[in-house]
Chains A and B, each alone.
Chain A
């Protein structure tokens, strides 16, 4: 109503002048986009910012690190075995340390820093791939179940069925069963990568599917979907243009949590000895190998353990911050 200048004039002439405190010259700050709002809310969450920083640091380190520190992590150097990390020399001058092995070496003389970088690469790759696959399956099942009524019953029973499966025993089962054929098909490392990624994804998509289905059910009944349907949008277009963008935030949050679970599951499998082949370093396997010698070399347990824990902690904080930033009820308060 008050958009045209004439209306303003009429209003100004007819109504008494508003008291000084209530008059506004205009908006104080220029309108901001949704992305900028989310980012400014996200920045207020200290833990999430720290998490984002550490996750970027560790991702960069494992991506770029092996090109800077070019020692082969699988090279056996039996003469230089059991080196302590360089900082041990600070309190123990008789410790076996060397500048060429900054974090020491293990019982076969493999360089710990190179192993940490390579192991991180494996853990992060498995984590990201499994998370992406799991979110993909979860979103697909959730959207289909929420959007198409005929599929709802079947897909949700399927989700319940998967939720009723004992996860860790089944993971162990699947790894021991399919290890041989996949190794024969894709090589020892490639086969295990495919196997671990797929079974972690297959056993972890259910929470995403449930959340997405709930949101789709609510959004489907909104007017803008009805409007889009009335101008003849096909179901595929409706889902892609109107529904998916609106369920993006729960998907992002469950993706962050999924990344944490995937990294932990991969490390747990390596720790139990059913993960990657024994000469291929991952954080979980380094930890498992070091447990027998932890009285003499506690750092070999601490380094990979701290790496796993800090990565997962930062991902969890990132997820927490994302949840707050993407929730419009919390944002702006």
Chain B
């Protein structure tokens, strides 16, 4: 197991380097010019100097190398400085955003809490809803509950978030104003809101409700399918019959014996979904105006802010590779039948 984990970790490094190289070279083809917003009165030779000041004069490979150094050498130093109060990165150039002229990592750190709150809470809510639904619909296969569950899951798969989002806004922010029985929820997420007492906490819950509902609906649909399929696989096994035959109660058989074994693939699926939490739900964040990571990527793309796009996409790729690795190792650890070596 350890050798497998080590081998996979070592293999992940060239993969990530290759991905970063591919993304960088893709961005080199970008037609956009960071000087497009500079007034026309600025003479062309000055503009050229400004471009060179951004590091655009150097050949692509040199630029790529400098980006690598900044991300893998200077940014960790900044992190160490921040934790221990040292001054390792003093005066060294960090990855700078072309939009704001401030370090990319600082902006990302400002945006991450919003994304984590909304998308992370949605993920937890979805897990809490999906697992019982999956277990019960497998236990009563083809019952009314199972059929209804299948139908709702199908809908969850099929309705895209850019429709459920506006739909919820129409119901809870427009129609609810005229009726007394629907709660009125804010359609725009206020990021500057500070939670310091019960009332502000209540408002935070209210403004998180709709984006969390949209995201949780989708995630629930997928997870409950996996849970159901995995439970169905295990319910037919011989050890279940043995457990029943030795007189265990039905609750123990299902909730202890079958559930524990069925959770193995589901846990890996949950681990595989975690990068999406950090990656942010670009569409949901756009619909509810949450200024998280996804929205940051979108605005950076439209503004031709290549260092920001490059760093964000690379962070997403790192998360995906790392959590793939974690999922594979978890699978091996949880299921003793699986041997990688």
Contacts and interface: CB of A to CB of B under 8 A. Distances in A.
Interface of A: 47, 160-161, 163-166, 168-170, 172-174, 176-178, 180-181, 260, 264, 267-268, 271-272, 284, 287-288, 290-291, 294-295, 298, 301-302, 305, 308-309, 312-313, 316-317, 320
Residue from B158, B321, B324 whose CB has the most chain A CB atoms within 10 Å: B158
A294 B162 CA distance: 13
13 contacts: A164-B320, A169-B309, A173-B301, A177-B29, A264-B160, A268-B283, A272-B298, A284-B162, A287-B166, A301-B166, A301-B170, A305-B167, A312-B159
B163 A164 contact: no
Secondary structure at the A interface, as helix, strand, loop or mixed, is helix
A177 B167 contact: no
B174 A309 contact: no
B26 interface: yes
B271 interface: no
B157 interface: yes
A217 B302 CA distance: 45
B309 A305 contact: no
A203 to B, nearest CB: 13
Contact of A313 (B19, B154, B166, B321): B154
Given A166-B316, A176-B302, A272-B286, A309 B158 contact: yes
Interface in B147-164: 154-155, 157-160, 162-163
B154 A169 contact: no
Interface string B46-76: 0000000000000000000000000000000
Contact of A173 (B18, B158, B313, B324): B313
Interface string B155-186: 10111101100110110001000000000000
Contact of B166 (A164, A268, A294): A294
Given A170-B313, A305-B167, A271 B158 contact: no
B129 interface: no
Given A173-B26, A288-B162, A305-B163, 9 more contacts: A168-B282, A172-B297, A173-B301, A268-B283, A287-B163, A294-B169, A294-B170, A298-B170, A309-B158
A177 B31 contact: yes
B31 A166 contact: no
A164 B158 contact: no
A166 B166 contact: no
B27 interface: yes
Contact of B26 (A174, A291, A309): A174
Interface string B30-41: 111000000000
Contacts of A164: 15, 19, 317, 320-321, 324
B154 A317 contact: yes
B134 interface: no
Nearest to B170: A298
Contacts of A309: 155, 158-160, 163
B312 A169 contact: yes
B21 to A, nearest CB: 12
B211 interface: no
B279 interface: yes
B167 A301 contact: yes
Contacts of B287: 291
A313 B316 contact: no
A75 to B, nearest CB: 26
B160 A312 contact: yes
